[in-house]
Chains A and B, each alone.
Chain A
């Protein structure tokens, strides 16, 4: 299948900083891609470029369209939730549903109302009377009722409590996501999404430092728990990272043969957060 997003040599320069430095990547349909990076790494800029909200240099095509010039057409197929609390504070639930239903050609009103029926939201409630979690429920109900090809989520669960966060991703997975849809998500709460991601992209200082699917992560990276006496041997094998737990050392290896590592100790697949921390070492130093 054709990639839904293709970027090559994508660059964006602000007055005093480079946000994206000649980045290239492809995103295939039916994937859930985690775009992960430290603050200021260029994640939001990359998303904004895909959504036609910012100008850029280089080539970028989303669903075969140029986001800069064909934005109106593109937005029929692309939805996004940028952060929580971007819904206008004056709007009522009823008005929001009415409005989107009448301006979006791919909106399914019955679906939206079914989602809302499962929340505590009432039609006359205004956004300013809602908690952050309720605002996200409303936004999610609106977005999930739109039959779009791409859903972009920029820190969608920031500031929500754990109940809302779990519910958010669960709804997305169970009732929204399918083979025809692609979800691109940025977040700092990596642990919560790592089991739902199919692809992983690390971004640092405007460059993509890792672009892989989750199956490959297990083959390429390995975490080994090594006893003190073997630590020196392990260090010679150029680990990415080393940390100490209960008198043992945990080493993170990239691309070292698993058979060789097994000799050192117990192997397991590293978590995305450990991988992230190891990759981003020294970012803020």
Chain B
């Protein structure tokens, strides 16, 4: 356990820039853009005579809002937290994609593998630490940063509302920041499971390739897809290329995207979907009933086992 902890810490030291700074900088940039656009809005509104400086919006009394309108405002606020988390998770997905590709290749290329291999650490522990970094450490950091970003946006929005004479508390009560935060965090394990096929595939390529893991990781699924399509076209193999694209190629390459479980979960379609309905844990975790999800997990584990085996004998590029 102790070794595993230090191995994960090691991964974080090496990839602090990607795991922490990339999301943090994204958030800072988005916040800046948000503040800038709010300012522009205020100034332009003022010029148009809509917002006199005493704050109140002309022709609109805050007290006029109906319960339904207030509820909608709450949903919008909840959604803004979700949106922020998704933006940050999307950045993280790109970071983790390249992290996995380099995880078992970079140290072979710069030969530092000879140092790591001089320590009494099993290969499976090394690889497990990298998988945990990709499935737990990076998503948790990104989620926390994303949610904090969402909450900051929320506060920013409420301040603006207050400036215009709205009662910020009304909005805050209509929104569910804590519940949304808890549910986003509770969805990380589901995300990790669904991301396994891509993580396994990228790490397998990383452990196997002697050069350009990125190219191999991309070319093999795409070329195989092309062959399936061609076989289908000439009638040799009755395998639908579109099915293959969706269930093999896409899952090998794109399963790191945020909300990657949606294709497996049986979301009920309401007329009136609130953010909370979308985040509903029961609805989302119903994805676990899908055999396809588990097939992906199994494939991911098999590929990781392959990576462990390759790692044992490949110390050079």
Contacts and interface: CB of A to CB of B under 8 A. Distances in A.
Interface of A: 48, 51, 53-55, 72-76, 79-83, 85-92, 95, 98-100, 102-105, 139
18 contacts: A48-B315, A51-B117, A53-B315, A72-B121, A75-B118, A75-B121, A82-B114, A83-B111, A85-B111, A86-B112, A88-B116, A90-B14, A99-B9, A102-B3, A102-B6, A103-B2, A104-B119, A105-B120
Given A55-B313, A99-B6, A99-B10, A89 B112 contact: yes
Given A72-B120, A73-B120, A75-B120, A88 B6 contact: no
B238 interface: no
Nearest to B6: A102
B2 A102 contact: yes
Interface string B225-243: 0000000000000000000
Nearest to A94: B13
B13 A95 contact: yes
Contact of B3 (A81, A85, A103): A103
Q: Closest 4 A-B residue pairs measured CB to CB?
A: A88-B112, A75-B120, A82-B114, A86-B114
B115 A103 contact: no
Contacts of A104: 119-120
B271 interface: no
Interface in B248-290: none
A80 B118 CA distance: 6
A47 to B, nearest CB: 11
Contact of A103 (B107, B113, B120): B120
Nearest to B122: A72
Contacts of A73: 120
B54 interface: no
B118 A79 contact: yes
B68 interface: no
B120 A86 contact: no
Contacts of B145: none
A57 B40 CA distance: 75
Contact of A75 (B6, B107, B119): B119
B13 A86 contact: no
A109 to B, nearest CB: 14
Contact of A86 (B6, B115, B122): B115
A102 B119 CA distance: 11
B315 to A, nearest CB: 5
Contacts of A90: 13-14
A87 B112 contact: yes
B142 interface: no
A88 B14 contact: yes
A87 to B, nearest CB: 5
A242 B196 CA distance: 67
Given A54-B313, A91-B13, 18 more contacts: A51-B117, A53-B315, A72-B121, A72-B122, A75-B120, A80-B114, A82-B114, A86-B113, A87-B112, A88-B116, A89-B110, A89-B112, A95-B10, A98-B6, A99-B6, A102-B2, A103-B6, A103-B120
